[in-house]
A and B are shown apart, each in its own frame.
Chain A
Amino acid sequence: MTSQPALTPAPPPVAAGTEPSPGIVSVLRQNVRQYGMLVALVVIVAFFQFTTGGTMLRPQNVTNVFLQNGYIIAMALGMLLIIVSGHIDLSVGSVAAFTGAIAAVVMVNYKLDPTLAIIAALVVGGLIGAWQGFWVAYMRIPSFIVTLSGMLLFRGLTLFMLEGQPVGPFPQSFRSIASGFIPEPLGSIIDPFGADPLKVTTLLLAALLCVGLVMLDLRSRRDQVKYGFRVTPFGQFVAKNVILVVAIMYLAYRLSAFFGLPVVLAIVGVLIAFYMFITTRTVLGRRIYAVGGNAKAATLSGVKTKQMVFFTFVNMGVLSAVGGLISTARFNSATPKAGDGFELDVIAATFVGGASAYGGVGTVAGAVIGALVLGVLNIGMGLMGIGIDYQFAIKALVLLGAVFVDVRGKNKDS
């Protein structure tokens, strides 16, 4: 069969061809909607930069944002798919603790290679996801209940694994996934604007990333023009890319003035790219969005709804294990209380990033920005010396406010 429609051509409709040009107000409104959280992130960073007298953007603090939040970002990627498919996972903190404990016990008690420990943790994470996905997708138990049960179950198993005691410390090679930096074979150069020497490899990698991103954007723009779609004015397109390049290069500049690119950021960066690809460019991603958008319509279109939901849980289990490995390595020990409250940060990050609680809507970029907003808030408030009590309350209001703005925008739209 061909992909050609079998119908004889009918006269094209009046509105065919190019889209009408939108007014300036609607362009602005659309961009605020699209980039709203990004703008908020910049405002928050600027705010802390100001209130902390320039401490916020010091190389060490910029590096810390990623060292401290890498596992949240990794897990938010999995949570995004879960929430897009119309479900929730409350167990990710316990699963992270349990998989971290497994890696710790394998390395410390059985003296096995860290690589084996990592593989073991990832496999167990996948199995846990399969267990929960089975109940949610095939037994039709609400995910809230299945994962609430999982939250307790895997906390209990963590205690059992660790016999109530912290297990550690770990070999350096394992710890480096959370606190190490990529090798800098190209050495350093002198920073013309600052005191610290700059790591060249980090800067080079960032430059390559910028070239790649700009080329991708150019290609997509060319395709859109080719098919007669309305595209943003060329000036706006250039401005957007310049801002993006400047932001990435500035970030790299700050990182290179410390120890360079953290290993955890490299891992998370690869994951982000991978999940962006999955969500926007693959049949699998498209089907997950369809299931969350209208499960009945998706089923009647031949989408294997249950399989999709099952997959998102397996995926979440593996990414919980990634989060568990990073946080265990970071603290250099697996503890019975590890991962406590991770689920709240991860879910909050996804919602702050614009995912819909009703399913079907959400982006990888949004989830990452959401995680960064929360991470910057944590570090910034810490630097300002704000008490933990206020920190909780402020994060709570940010979550509520972000979702409120999002919901309001959507209601106005339709």
Chain B
Amino acid sequence: MSDVLLEMRGITKTFPGVTALDNVSLSVRRAEIHALVGENGAGKSTLMKVLSGVYPHGEYEGQILFDGQEAQFSDIRASEALGIVIIHQELALVPQLSITENIFLGNEQAERGVVNWGAAHARARDLLKTVGLDDTTDTPVRRLGVGKQQLVEIAKALSKKVTLLILDEPTAALNETDSQKLLGLLKTFKAQGISSVLISHKIKEVESVADTITVIRDGKVVESLDATAGGVTEDRIIRGMVGRDLTHRFPDRDSNIGEVVFEVRNWNVAHPIYDDRMVINDVSINVRAGEVVGIAGLMGAGRTEFAMSVFGRSWGRFVSGTALKNGHEIDVSSIPKAVHNGVAYVTEDRKTYGLVLMNDVKTNITLANLEGVSTNSVLSAPREIKVANEYRDRLSIKCSSVRQTSVNLSGGNQQKVVLAKWLFAQPDVLILDEPTRGIDVGAKFEIYTIINRLASEGKAVIFISSELPEILGISDRIYVMAGGKIAAEMPAAGASQETIMRAIMRLGRDASEGIVA
């Protein structure tokens, strides 16, 4: 038997307009912990979806060898049959069902359709012991914390035959104790001969448990580092993750920055369901007229939650904090009030939160400012069409007419419609949340150009993005968020992906070492 358990050769996966994976090769040995690191969107999750059969054979190019045999998975069940089990970032547990029911969901301990609950609970108890959980097996999963739920997921994986366990950011939502427990478990599995692929943004934990570290960037494998020999430092890994050239992907702009227009002071927000979990901790930011302020951070850093909370408290439970415009406190306690005070928020999820997809372009453009196209609450169709046509031309929205249904537009054009809606609401402060997510390079450039124009007209722009090159390319000043806090503030000139990453990691490491609670 060879030493190599899994070999992926020359995997290429394209989506319309994007190459997500470009000739990626990955080799996982038996009984090793193999870490996969890279920025958001680098292609880690896509690679694991190829491996687990989410993208079936035929939808990608390349070859997968498992245990020396070529594998062509048609779906998840096919990969699970070989013992490849993936645990996704978003847990796939049914909250109302008990631990036992969840563990054997889809794999019920049944004979001729009749479940043997006694045997099921007994097996579940053994599995829980293996993963170090002492809750009773009939506890509903919703009563467990996130850490324990993660362990139930692992128990569920173990209930099947496992030879390769894939964990997609398993510790993202866990506290330090739970994370250590989980990582310890991976080491135990390793001793039993089970390999793990660990996707993580926490470089510290990758350093501590991984035998091999593979760095992915822009859909390509940059390098595979042998960590058992030692000498792989955090700096070394980060350099691999971000080391790409900034080419001319951003339009030039002469900044003309004025006075502070908008300011948020000591903003605190609790989780909407778990009252005692603070998601935003004492965040203060400000933005000046004509300035583009970037908020960098990884997913889950609290950027969207912060922005939505400021925009009419539309996320979480507001605890404390003040918002000021031109030095005077303003009321942003509801969305209409925030809009009235000149604040606009362009959502990161245009399909769910941005557009009424079944409605046409003009109806979407005017939705946030119907007063602007009506007299005494009676709409004027000619005025509405005039406004929509103007914005279509000025943002270069490509549609057959403003009466086209917005569901049929491309992602970039949908994003422009959402932007048009908020520009028509005439805000002074524009919060853009991941405005270029999922749109092609050309459309991105157009969005950047629009942002630059807005800034040159004196608007204050807050720009949230997970893509560091974009943050660096478009911002005048950058706040770095991590763990619901502002980890750093820096001028964009002189900042680099390394300095931002380091700020994020520093806060993460401090937290894991117990310096910051």
Contacts from A to B (Cβ < 8 Å): 1, 3-16, 18-20, 220, 223, 226-230, 281-284, 286-287, 289-290, 293-294, 296-304, 360-361, 414
Q: 3 tightest CB-CB pairs across the interface, nearest first? A: A293-B356, A301-B368, A302-B339
A299 touches B381 (CB 8 A): no
How many Å lie between the Cα of A11 and that of B398 in the bound state?
12
Whether A19 pairs with B358 at a CB distance below 8 angstroms is no
Which residues of B in the span 340-389 have a Cβ within 8 Å of any Cβ on A?
345, 347, 352-359, 363, 367-368, 370-374, 377-379, 381-383, 385-387, 389
- Nearest residue, chain A, Cβ from B337: A302
Q: A297 to B457, Cβ gap below 8 A?
A: no
Q: Which residues of B contact A223 (CB under 8 A)?
A: 381-382, 385
On chain A, the residues within 8 Å of B423 by CB distance are 5-7
- Other 9 A-B pairs with CB < 8 A, given A8-B453, A226-B382, A283-B371: A3-B387, A7-B453, A8-B394, A223-B381, A281-B378, A282-B379, A286-B367, A289-B356, A360-B358
Verify B400–A289 contact, CB threshold 8 A: no
Given known contacts A298-B356, A300-B353, A360-B358, A7 and B392 CB-to-CB distance under 8 angstroms: no
A299-B314 in contact (CB<8A): yes
Residue of B nearest to A295 (CB): B356
Query: A379 → chain B, closest Cβ, in Å?
Result: 35
Q: Which residue of chain B is the closest to A13 with respect to CB atoms?
A: B396
Interface hub of B312, B347, B356 (most chain A Cβ within 10 A): B356
Whether the pair B335, A302 counts as a contact (CB closer than 8 A) is yes
Q: In the assembled complex, which residues on chain A have CB atoms less than 8 Å from the CB atom of B312?
A: 302
A297 with B336: CB separation less than 8 A? no
In the complex, the chain A residue whose C-beta lies closest to that of B367 is: A301
A283 in complex: contacting residue of B374, B394, B400, CB < 8 Å: B374
B370 to chain A, nearest CB (A): 4
Min CB distance B372 to A, Å, is 5
Kindly state the separation between the CA atoms of A301 and B370 in the bound complex, as whole angstroms: 10
Known: A227-B389, A281-B378. A5 touches B367 (CB 8 A): no
**Taking the complex as formed, is B65 at the interface, i.e. its CB lies under 8 A from any CB of chain A?**
no
* B336 interface neighbour in A6, A282, A304, Cβ under 8 Å: A304
Contact A5 B352 (CB under 8 A): no
Contact A296 B353 (CB under 8 A): yes
Residue of A nearest to B393 (CB): A12
Judge if B82 is at the interface, Cβ distance under 8 Å: no
Output the nearest chain B residue to A413 by Cβ-Cβ distance: B405
Q: What A residues does B373 contact at CB under 8 A? A: 3
Report the minimal beta-carbon distance from A21 to chain B, rounded to whole angstroms: 11
**What are the residues of chain B within 8 A of A5 when measuring CB–CB?**
387, 390-391, 394, 423-424
Report whether A290 and B367 are in contact in the complex, using a CB–CB cutoff of 8 Å: yes
- Whether B403 pairs with A300 at a CB distance below 8 angstroms is no
Interface positions of B (Cβ within 8 A of A)? 311-312, 314, 335-336, 338-339, 345, 347, 352-359, 363, 367-368, 370-374, 377-379, 381-383, 385-387, 389-401, 403, 407-408, 421, 423-426, 450, 453-454, 457, 459
Nearest-CB distance from A137 to chain B (Å)? 15
Q: Is the CB of B399 within 8 A of A15?
A: yes
Chain A residues near B421: list those with CB within 8 A.
301
Q: A357 CB to closest chain B CB, in angstroms?
A: 13
Q: Identify the closest chain A residue to B371 (Cβ).
A: A283
What residue in chain B is nearest A227 (Cβ atoms)? B385
Q: Which of A10, A297, A299, A300 contacts B396, CB < 8 Å?
A: A10
Q: Is the CB of B387 within 8 A of A283?
A: no
Q: What residues on B are CB-neighbors of A226 within 8 Å?
A: 382
Are A294 and B355 in touch, CB under 8 angstroms? yes
Contacts of A18 in B (CB 8 A): 401
Write out the residue numbers on chain B whose beta carbons fall within 8 Å of the beta carbon of A229. 385, 401, 403
Does B358 lie within 8 Å of A293, measured CB to CB? Answer: yes
Cβ contacts under 8 Å, B385 to chain A: 223, 227, 229
In the complex, chain A residues whose CB is within 8 Å of the CB of B347: 300
Q: Given A10-B393, A223-B382, A414-B407, do A300 and B314 touch, yes or no (CB 8 Å)?
A: yes
Q: Which residue of A lies closest to B382 (CB)?
A: A223
Query: A7, B407: Cβ atoms under 8 Å?
Result: no
Q: Are B453 and A1 in contact (CB-based, < 8 A)?
A: no
Considering only CB atoms, which chain A residue lies closest to B357 in the complex? A294
| Closest A residue to B311 using CB positions | A300
20 A-B interface contacts by CB (under 8 A): A3-B373, A5-B394, A5-B423, A12-B396, A13-B398, A220-B381, A228-B401, A229-B385, A283-B371, A283-B379, A284-B377, A286-B379, A287-B370, A290-B356, A290-B363, A290-B367, A294-B356, A297-B355, A304-B336, A360-B359
Give the residue name and chain of the A residue nearest to B336 (CB): A302
Q: Within 8 Å CB of B354, what residues of A?
A: 297, 300
Report B430 CB to chain A, min CB distance, Å. Answer: 11
Asked whether, in the complex, the Cβ of B394 is within 8 Å of the Cβ of A13, the reply is: no
Which of B314, B370, B382, B408 has the most chain A CB atoms inside 10 A of its CB?
B370
Bound together, the chains give a CA A294 to CA B418 distance in angstroms of 14
Q: Are B394 and A10 in contact (CB under 8 A)?
A: yes
B394 to chain A, nearest CB (A): 5
| Contact B396 A283, beta carbon cutoff 8 Å | no
Assembled-state Cα–Cα distance A265/B98 (Å)? 59
How many Å from the CB of B425 to the closest CB on chain A? 8
Beta-carbon nearest neighbor of B446 in chain A: A10
Q: Among B358, B394, B454, which residue has the most Cβ atoms of chain A within 10 A?
A: B358
Nearest CB in chain A: distance from B3 CB, A = 51
Question: Is there an interface contact between B345 and A300, defined as CB atoms closer than 8 Å?
Answer: yes
Which residues of the other chain, A, contact B377 by a CB distance below 8 angstroms?
Answer: 282-284
